[in-house]
């Protein structure tokens, strides 16, 4: 018997499930920024997905099943200080709102860059911009198809008469 071939008498090992944090086909979790009339609305993905690139088209299906088309305007990779080097909001007595206010009040001067071992990757940010709705293109395609179908059916009905 060839040692490189599996033994047919042995049961096969069960397929290993996707590792935690990696969705089907791989990928990474990221935050998507949808344009609104007064800025952007952020949404975190519920599971990991392939990270889109600038220029990619993204169709978002809303709760009513209506598709909205966006183009990826920018992808921002974020870095942040490792948790061991960040202040703990529970021990400092502050709330997340206070921490956000403190971050806004921080001076705009240069910030020290920590050593490489003190950083970790944050969630990438995908910023979208609205483009024409896919429904309008689908409607135009359907109208073209029905128009060309009418001329064919018209010629068929004319030939039958």
Q: Which two tokens stand for residue 59?
A: 């169709």
| DSSP category for residue 25 | T
Cα atoms found within 13 Å of the Cα of residue 110, Cβ hemisphere only = 3
Three-state DSSP at 76 gives strand
DSSP 109: S
Q: For residues 43, 49, 55 and 58, what is the CA-based torsion angle, rounded to 10 degrees?
A: -60
Helices (H), the chain: 89-92, 96-105, 134-160
Q: Which residues pair with 35 in a beta bridge?
A: 40
Q: pLDDT by residue for the chain (161 residues), tens digit each? A: 566 666 666 655 555 454 444 445 678 899 999 999 999 999 999 888 999 999 999 999 999 999 999 999 999 998 888 777 777 767 655 444 544 454 555 556 676 766 656 888 888 999 999 997 655 455 444 444 444 444 333 334 343 33
User: Which of helix, strand or coil describes residue 151?
Assistant: helix
Cα–Cα distances (Å) from 30 to 9, 12, 47, 77, 78, in that order, read 45, 36, 9, 10, 10
Tokens matching residue 63: 């709760």
The four Cα atoms 44, 46, 48, 49 give a dihedral, to 10 degrees, of: -80
Q: Is 81 left (phi over 0), alpha (psi -120 to 50) or beta?
A: beta
Q: Are the C-beta atoms of residues 102 and 94 closer than 8 Å to each other?
A: yes
């Amino acid at each position: 018997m060839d040692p490189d071939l599996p033994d047919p008498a042995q049961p096969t090992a069960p397929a290993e499930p996707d590792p935690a944090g990696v969705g089907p086909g791989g990928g990474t979790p990221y935050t998507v920024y949808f344009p609104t009339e007064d800025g952007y609305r952020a949404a975190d993905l519920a599971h990991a997905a392939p990270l889109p690139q600038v220029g990619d088209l993204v169709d978002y299906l809303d709760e009513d099943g209506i598709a909205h088309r966006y183009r990826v305007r920018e992808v921002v990779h974020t870095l942040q200080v490792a948790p061991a080097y960040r202040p703990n909001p529970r021990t400092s007595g502050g709330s997340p709102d206070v921490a956000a206010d403190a971050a806004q009040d921080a001076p705009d001067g240069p910030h020290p860059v920590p050593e490489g071992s003190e950083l970790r990757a944050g969630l990438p940010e995908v910023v979208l911009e609205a483009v024409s709705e896919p429904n309008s293109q689908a409607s135009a395609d359907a109208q073209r198809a029905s128009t060309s179908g009418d001329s064919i059916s018209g010629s068929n009905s004319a030939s039958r008469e």
